[in-house]
Chains A and B, each alone.
Chain A
């Protein structure tokens, strides 16, 4: 086992890729390919549990570090590491993996091995993005995510799949290119591609603003932040169920993860300058996403727009620059992954049976599919943030953090506006639920639809369990991320309110008001996990 645990991050990251290569080349029979894919995804989840249980949350630094010189005399290296923030998102990814594969069991019928290979390939790219601590490596993984997703939408999608796939690809590409320029600029300043060296670079205000803008554009498109969101509804509607689940569950979080990991700690001045704008866009996204979701005739599009609204909460929390707000943001990423992932899976279930997602086609489904209706209700409630389910904790902490933010102008007004999203969320979700599930079973075509099959139960139950679990015991996640958030965002975050003195606008590591001093990480010294 040592040879696995010594390079655990590499194993977790590349095991799915190995699986996809095997499926592409050797296991070309549909059933075998499915079983192999499921087995690989499960094995990867088990491996990631090793990370979960052996990660030491108290330190909050990068752990399980692997570093091998790669190019240009080691200026560019294969450098993986993992802190609490990466941990929870990576485990979310590996957790969703088997469920996604299981959900495609019947939904995907042609080119099964190709499809599963792409799903696993995507898995590797996503995990690599969370673990990469070298900027070039990060960029490689980041771009690698596009390829499988492009094919998943473009080949296995719906009617307008090519349009959606190209739109998705170009949108993301446009942002990434600017980020690449930013990375190169920093590389020539730092003399290395290592994230730690990037963090150590001292930049003047001007470049910081430009670089922050370049980075944030890439991330904001991925999130997506209003008004860069229009690729999302198209991509979701056209993507097959599995694609939507991965997209909503993990891919969108790449944007917010990138903000926490790179854009914010690297450019404190940029954060200070752009935080007001970002938080306003976030609030617009919350309300706008909810209102537009309300009037959608297509269930899947409704859920897609609800993602715009939910991710708006996450961005708002991050730019509140308070510990509670940022932690709430990270927590909300998980909660949204669970609830929206479940919702997309559920939409897929009914789509498989009826081949339509028009709300008007349904009504009274609860008569035919009571178990399905129940699970859908739970996912709906988790999505609208009912206490006891995961969504509430995230929203509460985000709003609480934002309300108390001392760096954000008009923080309280923003919170009030954002909190209307809580009301609007209930409106659009429950209205949709009413039209789809309640009332008489009026449409003849809906008679005789089978309730959830055992396989569908197996897919959905883990999600439901974790919705409750995280809702009741958020400490499970909060404990893991607390130290990491403090450490990662030390350059930008106002120090915890221990003293009553008013905080300076930004404790840029001067430590004068008792704030933490800018922490430069030395991966050689700290966090070498034995």
Chain B
């Protein structure tokens, strides 16, 4: 425990942004904008610096011992139910911490420029800092419940930031939708936690925290019988947060928030939380092939599904949003085929280039006086040179062009899918990759090439963004360019450093499998090794996917820049329906509306409230019994006529009859 100072640092990585949020939130408008922005950026900057410190410390440790933990206090302590307020660092969340605070810092700086004229400047930075706090709690949490705290926290911040401009009720509705859809996922997450807790509870030794990852991993054998159910429940949570089928519907609407928010929360960090969680729980997922299959299939399906929708969207942010959904699908696909490290690799590279693309689009929107419709853009290449060049880098990275970041991670995912025997999933991912290149080229052409189609007034205002906005773009462009090089695979002569770095985290999962299945399947291991040495197939697939990406870009160029009218022709040919289907996002929102929301509302209002509550219980049972009393009373009251002499007569007659009865009854 010589490294105590470093372990204490963990809590400060989380707490410093909270302090920033508190300062900005409580003082709000009393804080000058410069001070507010400086505080917020400073807080995240400190967090980032601390992350680097602990990362280096971790890297300096022997591979097997790479683990730091910081237990603040007991959070919930009741009998055997012991959950600590604790943070821990291992290679997996060290990477996440760097990405979140690093990209987060850049986006904070960018927001200084982007939000400079907004009345809610301080409130914005308070939320943004709060988000970093929640996200770091999620990432650094030592146990599943801490992860859940962050999980809900980022959901809250997402809600607050989507509805940031709440003057427009549509934004408020989008925020609410995001929160509620996420809650549906959390419902699964919660139940997953309960199942884990109840299953593992009888096996816990003294002093072992109930939901601590390390403890759970240690007891993974005990969890094996329930693994499928647990993993599916947890995965339901992940589909909410990471916008997978069937809960992806909130993410496109979430674009109602300010663009830096879309970049930070809805592209680079928060939405990858689901992937992180699945990777974090890898030791359980590997125990359940069924759950793994579900993860892989849902991931692949989401990837292609969202990519097709992205083809037809006209809002620049919506295209990027569906692209994000699609890329998240890739990450899930990677996890589903057991390549957790590659999934995380894609999380990282995607954070770079998708943040870049969103910030670039923000720069475009900023220049276009808040216009988001690509149909009235065009020709911005000359006027926004920095934005254009960086955006181009981002596009190529996303399209998976060698040697940019996206190439390595996406190609690796496809290879893992292929080599794990899931050729169908590989094919789906492969097709989606081509679509990605196509729609990104469409976006690029519509925005940056051709004539500008905006009104003269807007045209007049077009200008390159200030340095606070372009600088993060440049940094992210560089990262998108070189970010993938840390994971150059072996067959290309690279060291696959990224995978090696994460090896200790995911190796645990394999040990668990071996422990659970008794003897390790030696033959399988040997086969895997054999595949590893035969690199021909890898070369072929990598080449194919590069060629396919370039082809996608080329087609996009031909269709939209050269105006071949293919899109128009296809639309007519198919009677317009498939196109409309895509334009309306497969009518998924409408379907949910018709099947759940409206019937649910009507059921509640008419049946439950009006009929059961007011009608049956209150009307018939409660007031009904009151009515019976009233009827009886109205008969009896005939005798109470207010005539005192009538009463006197009654008494007299009554007493007389009574006395006579006593006398003669014997």
Contacts and interface: CB of A to CB of B under 8 A. Distances in A.
Do chains A and B stick together as partners?
A: yes
Interface of A: 167, 171, 227, 230-231, 288, 291-292, 294-296, 323-324, 327, 363-364, 366-367, 381, 386-388, 392-393, 396-397, 399-400, 403-404, 415-416, 419-420, 422-423, 426-427, 430-431, 433-434, 437-440, 472-475, 478-479, 482, 496-497, 500
B609 A430 contact: no
Interface stretch (B61-69, B89-97, B166-174): B166-174
Interface residues of B, number: 54
A488 B156 CA distance: 39
B183 A440 contact: no
Interface in B77-100: 77-81, 85
A387 B148 contact: yes
A61 to B, nearest CB: 18
Contacts of B537: none
B81 A431 contact: no
B153 interface: yes
B608 interface: yes
A32 to B, nearest CB: 36
Given A403-B197, A434-B163, 5 more contacts: A292-B604, A388-B153, A430-B179, A434-B173, A472-B75
B198 to A, nearest CB: 4
Interface string B599-625: 011011100110011000110011000
Contacts of A291: 600, 603-604, 608
Contacts of B612: 288
8 contacts: A230-B618, A230-B622, A292-B604, A295-B601, A296-B609, A388-B153, A403-B194, A439-B167
A478 B604 contact: no
Given A415-B191, A419-B190, A439 B198 contact: no
A474 B190 CA distance: 19
Which 4 residue pairs across A and B have the least CB separation, nearest first? Answer: A438-B172, A439-B169, A295-B605, A403-B194
Contacts of A479: 77
B197 A404 contact: yes
Contacts of B74: 475
A323 B79 contact: yes
A231 B600 CA distance: 25
Contact of B79 (A288, A324, A422): A324
Given A291-B608, A423-B187, A478-B76, A230 B617 contact: yes
Contact of B76 (A171, A381, A397, A496): A397
B317 interface: no
A53 to B, nearest CB: 20
B613 A230 contact: yes
B575 interface: no
A427 B601 CA distance: 11
B172 A478 contact: no
Contact of B201 (A397, A426, A438, A497): A497
A292 B609 contact: yes
A490 to B, nearest CB: 14
Contacts of A420: 187
Contacts of A439: 166-169, 172
A416 B191 contact: yes
Contact of B167 (A367, A387, A427, A500): A367
Nearest to A496: B79
Given A386-B152, A415-B194, A497 B604 contact: no
A470 to B, nearest CB: 11
A4 to B, nearest CB: 33
A500 B78 CA distance: 19
B202 A400 contact: no
B75 A496 contact: no
B9 interface: no
A294 B599 CA distance: 13
B486 interface: no
B186 interface: yes
Contacts of A324: 78-79, 81
A400 B604 contact: no
Nearest to A386: B152
A11 to B, nearest CB: 31
B348 to A, nearest CB: 27
Contact of B604 (A294, A364, A440, A473): A294
Contacts of B202: 497, 500
A179 B584 CA distance: 61
A367 B119 CA distance: 12
Contacts of B190: 396, 399, 419, 422
A230 B619 CA distance: 10
Nearest to A323: B79
A473 to B, nearest CB: 8
B33 interface: no
Contact of B180 (A296, A387, A430, A478): A430
Contact of B195 (A167, A403, A437): A403
Contact of A427 (B180, B186, B197, B198): B180
A93 B169 CA distance: 39
A479 to B, nearest CB: 8
Contact of B194 (A167, A230, A367, A400): A400
A289 to B, nearest CB: 10
Contacts of A416: 191
B604 A295 contact: yes
Nearest to A170: B626
Given A292-B609, A400-B197, A474-B75, A430 B176 contact: yes
B428 interface: no
Contact of A426 (B153, B179, B600, B601): B179
Nearest to A411: B198
A474 B76 contact: yes
A479 B85 CA distance: 16
Contacts of A478: 76-78
Contacts of B609: 292, 295-296
A363 B169 CA distance: 9
Interface in B181-213: 183-184, 186-187, 190-191, 193-195, 197-198, 201-202
Which of A392, A415, A430, A440 counts the most B-chain CB atoms under 10 A from its CB?
A430
B386 interface: no
Contacts of A403: 191, 194-195, 197-198
B76 A387 contact: no
B187 A422 contact: yes
A438 B195 CA distance: 38
A397 B173 contact: no
B140 to A, nearest CB: 15
B8 interface: no
Interface in B131-159: 145, 148-149, 152-153, 156, 159
Max chain B Cβ within 10 angstroms of own Cβ: one of A231, A404, A496? A404
A117 to B, nearest CB: 31
Nearest to B618: A230
Contacts of B194: 399-400, 403-404, 415
Contact of B608 (A231, A288, A430, A472): A288
A396 B159 CA distance: 22
Which of B74, B77, B187, B193 is packed against the most chain A CB atoms within 10 Å?
Answer: B187
A420 B184 CA distance: 8
The interface centre, meaning the residue of A231, A423, A482, A497 with most chain B CB atoms within 10 A of its CB, is A423
Interface in B499-553: none
B522 to A, nearest CB: 34
B597 to A, nearest CB: 9
Contact of B166 (A227, A422, A426, A438): A438
A397 B81 contact: yes
A428 to B, nearest CB: 9
Given A295-B601, A388-B149, A496-B80, A434 B172 contact: yes
B79 A387 contact: no
A514 B152 CA distance: 40
Nearest to B155: A386
B528 to A, nearest CB: 38
A296 to B, nearest CB: 8
Contacts of B80: 496-497
A254 B85 CA distance: 33
